[in-house]
Amino acid sequence: MTTQKLKDRVAIITGSGGGLGAECARVLAEHGANIVIVDINEQAASSVAAEIEAGGVQALAIRTDVSSEEDVKAMVAQVMARFGRIDVLHNNAAVLDVDQRQRDRDICNLDMDAWDRAIAVNLRGAVLCSKHVIPVMLKQGKGSVIFATSGLGAQGDLSLTGYATSKAALNMLPKLVAAQYGKQGVRGNAVQIGLAPAENAHASMPSELLDILRDNHLTPELGTPRQIADVVAFLASDESSFVTGTTLVADGGFGSHTPSLVAMRAFFEQSGRGGM
């Protein structure tokens, strides 16, 4: 992997006041990009920006609610005033706090405010940021737009109905970006993220649940924020210049195997016919 592959580029990362977004900010900064930390949590955004500036690149923290068009417009104007260009937009922000997760349940028990919030932040937010950033990229004749999706947007699960639906819809957006603006140099891709525990989202998960998830990975361990950020850095850079309109799956094989694999592995181990 090359280093400094994003030297002097300007990257906006939404929801980068913490979790995977903050790790993406650190890794893109390591590759030389100047970073715009966009988050609804101003204090968190400022603290990540200060950490990144200490590494020698420029960082700008902007408090933005990505579901508000007014906020997004003002954010893009502020970025242009400071840097005069935007090379990368990573649509990473999602509403995932404990309260939201407890209310965004199965369809029969779904709190419709939680549904509306999931769609507004995760989906509308990504569309709004793309709507206001892509015109800048079109003027430059180049840009990379990335969307953070999830395995929950591809396979059914017991809860998180609004979250899953918003993530499923996000898989369509890279195809639209690629089809609509590809000839003018703008690429669109998504990263379908598996479990890569970050401090906010999974702190409350019992270890038994994490064990079940680990058993279903085809890698020795669950993913890390760094492994996701490396994929984002690839999609942000010219290393992926022939990759557009697609969803790259970074999930340790979680979504790649037969539903019976874990039970079969246990069966073979117990019957002494050799584990795999």
Beta carbons of 250 and 222 less than 8 angstroms apart: no
Q: How many angstroms separate the CA atoms of 146 and 245, rounded? A: 10
Name 203's bridge partners.
Answer: none
Q: By the criterion CB under 6 A, which residues form the site for ligand NAD?
A: 14-15, 17-21, 39-41, 44, 64-67, 92-96, 121, 125, 148, 150, 193, 195-198, 200-201
Residue nearest ligand NAD by beta-carbon distance: 19
Spatial CA neighbour of 83 closest among 61, 60, 51, 63: 60
Cα angle 27-32-38, degrees, rounded to a multiple of 5: 60
Residue 179 CB, shortest distance to ligand NAD, in Å, is 23
Q: How many alpha carbons fall within 13 Å on the CB side of residue 85?
A: 13
Residue 21 CB, shortest distance to ligand NAD, in Å, is 6
Residue of 163, 181, 234, 254 with catalytic role: 163
- DSSP 8-state class, residue 254: T
Residue 42 CB, shortest distance to ligand NAD, in Å, is 10
Nearer to ligand NAD, 143 or 162 (CB): 162
Backbone angles phi, psi at 224, to 5 degrees: -120, 155
Q: Which two tokens stand for residue 79?
A: 């970025």
Nearer to ligand NAD, 138 or 198 (CB): 198
Residue 55 CB, shortest distance to ligand NAD, in Å, is 20
Is 181 a residue of the active site?
no
Q: Which residues have a catalytic role annotated?
A: 163
